Amino acid sequence: MTVHLLEMEIQEYALDKIHCRKDIADHIAVCEACRMKAANYELMFSVIKEEPKHSFDFDLASLVVEQLPKPSSVSSSTNILLYVFIFCFAGAIAFVIYWFREYLEKMFKGILPIVIYLMLVIAISVLIFQCVEIYRRYKKQMKSLNSF
């Protein structure tokens, strides 16, 4: 009476015939029944690989992303920092003007009002231009961070 391989041993052979135990390979070489069973398993494994893959028929990423909490806490804390900075900056300028008010008064006394206005307009224009440029650069950096 022939002692056949265990089902587990046949699977072992079908999964990796090169590295499987020698006694299994030896039995398969001489036993038609076990060889056929192993061949069935091998065929089964290779057909499973060719099964079509499942995919969702809806846009899962969009569905999920729109449900995510908006990062409001991050932007509000950024905004608070920005306001604090502007407040400190304005305070520092006011302090400087107040401290040097006598010098400034003397400095501008001999100058025509039209020249003062002209200087003010130029200074404000340069300031606005710089601010716009900084904001544009910030937007660009945020965009590149969010691009993936």
Residue in the block written with tokens 């306001």: 83
50/102 with CB nearer other proteins: 50
Q: Which of 18, 19, 50, 113 binds other proteins (CB under 8 A)?
A: 50
Euclidean distance between the first and final Cα of the chain, in Å?
A: 67
Which of other proteins, Zn ion, none sits in contact with 19, Cβ below 5 to 8 A by type? none
Tell the smallest beta-carbon distance from residue 23 to Zn ion (Å): 12
- 5 touches 28 (CB < 8 A): yes
72/103 with CB nearer other proteins: 72
Q: Does 42 bind Zn ion (CB under 5 A)?
A: no
Q: Does 8 bind other proteins (CB under 8 A)?
A: yes
24/34 with CB nearer Zn ion: 34
Distance CA 85, CA 80 (A): 9
Q: Which of 10, 14, 34, 38 binds Zn ion (CB under 5 A)?
A: 34
Judged on CB neighbours under 10 Å (0-12, 13-18, 19+), 11 is middle
Distance CA 54, CA 139 (A): 40
Which of Zn ion, other proteins, none sits in contact with 103, Cβ below 5 to 8 A by type? none
Distance CA 72, CA 95 (A): 34
Residue numbers at the binding site for Zn ion (CB under 5 A): 4, 31, 33-34
